[in-house]
Amino acid sequence: MRVYQSNEIRNVGLVGHGNCGKTTLAAASLFAAGATNRLTRVDEGNTITDFDDDEVQRKISISTAAAYVEWKKQKINFLDTPGFNIFINDTHAALSAADAALVVVDGVAGVEVQTEKVWGFADTFKLPRAIVINKLDRERSSFERALESVQENFGRAAVPVELPIGAEKDFSGVVDLINMKAYTYEADGNGKGKEVPVPDSLADDAQKAHDTLVEMVAEGNDSLMEEFFEQGTLSPEHILEGLKTGIRELKLFPVMAASALKNIGTDLVLDFILDHFPAPCERPAVAAKQGDRDVERPISTTDPLSVFVFKTIADPFAGRVSYFKVMSGVLKNDANLCNVRNVAVERLAHLGCLMGKTITPVTELCAGDIGGVAKLKETLTGDTLGEKGSQISYASVKLPEPSIAYAIETKSRQDEDRLGNAVQRILEEDQSLRFYRDPQTKEFLLAGSGQQHVEVIVSRLKKRYGVDVALKAPKIPYRETIRGTADVQGRHKKQTGGHGQFGDCWVKFEPLPRGGGFEFVNDIFGGAIPKNFIPAVEKGLVETAAKGYLAGYPMVDFKASLYDGSYHDVDSSELSFKLAARKAFKAAMETAKPALLEPIMNVEVQAPVEYAGDLMGDMNGRRGRISGMDTHGNTQIVKAQVPMSEMLNYQNDLISMTQGRATFTMEFSHYDYVPQLQAEKIVSAAKAAKAGEEEEEE
């Protein structure tokens, strides 16, 4: 495989809502360019970019995959990204390596909620973009209706550069509005358009659309506007020039027509990418850090070598596979580079270009190119590699915290032994996951973007690493506290043969504000209790508080002041005073009004405006308090504080309520009192569970 120079490369992110046809468009492009010998299909599970077992089984993209084509002696790197909400974080991270985005829109459904979200990601990276209205061969598809949806969401800057010939099952070609030429395609799906005259039935519509395109291209460009006023049109060369400028300045977003499944219009999409999308070296300089300084660095082969790792895959056979973009210089095979984060030296052996799960070997990659390498030992997603002594580093994408956590239990001792290593490999691959042990419930928790996300990880643990685990809803980490005060005596006296046991303490209990934890105050004067026994009193209180009083949950947010007591020269000991403190705690709970606390979560839901009423009603039904509302375009943002216990099944309920068009994030806020009715149920359940455990022990 030959080496492509920076100006011969295009890096394109394929983005859009789930099931809009991104993976099929990638497959059609590979076939049209001769990279594959047949048009593979998602429903048959044989596409190049959906190669993971779970992707094949579920028929959706779960993580970003890369593939490349050579088209007219230039190279196009495609990043085929996920489109479903729970996997959308991977799309955000992948676009950091793209230089343009191809936004795929379903010709039947139009713009959907995740289309808007990935458009926002492209805005974040200031990516030039074009829109492909796909699936125009489907029943009930409509280019006009989909275009109206696109312009309603993204403005009039989304301007057609093509019109479809025919509709639904009769869709057979497209009209190129730039050059006013038409192309038709054979039913065999070979992807090669045949130039024909513009059909008479489309002549008027094509001319109107051409005039609109010319007017949009001329807008904002004084010289083109002057030519437009003088001649009433622009030459094809000036249209191309103005269109190219408008795309790169993010003023124009061309709209094309296609059917990836029938390979109609794919060759024109590839032509468009080469003609109008920028090469990496034509993009603005990239923000970077040089030591502690902020710098701007262009994509250039003449600058010192730097490589940015934007994705990691944990392959059970090949080991860790790193996807990277060469940000500057020329990367040669077997290069030794230094990881800027941890100063580890890595040898990049067997460099290659990515074709799904296959890495095609290359001798070198120029600045701007995307490649892959296996078995880097100390390098993770977001790391920068450079020459020894290099301090250049690029910022990684910050992903939101997981919104939902599940408890996982291993099914055997062998699974338990292998769990830690397997989860560590998975975490290297997916940075939107968290794995931790809850110190109170003692459960291992796996947190992700949604139930399906966590289920996919559980499936991977079993298929890749032979670790079988069961998922279950996590225990709610309730707390206990006191609402009142108590002034009590704790006295422990036991006489046996020889030395007895004696400890006596007076303790005052008071509530603290939320988050106050536990505070112990030593107010002993005059030696009522020797100093060496006072820590034992505190320890006894801490240990007893950890076991709770009402339902076995830790007691928090209270102050205990030890102010008096007595001791015996012979019978007193640390154990005696610890036991006395326990009795003082239990006595205090009878008068200090103990109460249950529950974790309250900050919840933010994003959904189309029409669901706002349903969302607020549902939140109120979950004992939630609405804390704010905001609207961005057609998206309603609802912010609320909701008890964690009411959010365990929220993911599935939200999907049902909004037809899968809403997303939510959730994070811990604070603890608050559990209402009396719910508290009684929790206490009863805890006592029943404890009684059951005691029966089993007997």
- Tell me, letter by letter, the H, E, C secondary structure of 554-621: CECCEEEEEEEEECCCCCCCHHHHHHHHHHHHHHHHCCCCEEEEEEEEEEEEEEEHHHHHHHHHHHHH
pTM: 0.77
Cα–Cα nearest to 451, from 400, 399, 406: 406
Cα–Cα distances in Å, from 515 out to 436, 509, 562? 22, 17, 22
pLDDT of residue 697: 57
Superfamily the domain 7-282 falls into = P-loop containing nucleotide triphosphate hydrolases (3.40.50.300)
C-alpha torsion angle, residues 124, 130, 136, 137 (rounded to 10): -100
CATH class name, domain 480-592: alpha beta
Instruction: Decide if 404-472 and 598-677 have a common fold.
Output: yes
CATH class name, domain 286-393: mainly beta
Burial of 440 (0-12, 13-18, 19+ CB in 10 A): middle
CA distance linking residue 409 with residue 474, whole number of Å = 11
Cα–Cα nearest to 606, from 638, 572, 649, 578: 638
Burial of 535 (0-12, 13-18, 19+ CB in 10 A): middle
How many other CB atoms are there within 10 angstroms of residue 475's CB atom?
Answer: 14
How would you label 101-110 residue by residue, b for 16+ Cβ within 10 Å and e otherwise? bbbbbbbbbb
Domain ranges of the chain: 7-282, 286-393, 404-472, 480-592, 598-677
User: Where do we find the tokens 């060496």?
Assistant: 532
Q: Which amino acid is at 256?
A: M
Token digits for 455?
């289920």
Token digits for 495?
């006489």
Mean pLDDT by 10 residues, the chain (698 residues): 93 94 95 89 85 84 94 96 87 95 95 88 96 96 95 94 95 94 89 91 94 88 82 84 93 96 95 96 94 92 94 80 96 94 91 93 96 92 90 87 81 88 87 82 82 86 89 86 96 82 95 93 90 94 93 93 92 93 96 94 87 92 92 82 90 85 80 93 88 63
Cα–Cα nearest to 639, from 672, 612, 621, 659: 612
Cα–Cα distances in Å, from 167 out to 140, 254, 258, 463? 9, 20, 11, 43
Please provide the CATH number assigned to the domain covering 598-677: 3.30.70.240
- Using DSSP, state whether 259 is helix, strand or coil: strand
**Per this entry, what is the length of the chain?**
698
pLDDT of residue 32: 93
Superfamily the domain 404-472 falls into = Elongation Factor G (Translational Gtpase), domain 3 (3.30.70.870)
Cα–Cα nearest to 485, from 595, 586, 589: 589
pLDDT of residue 403: 67
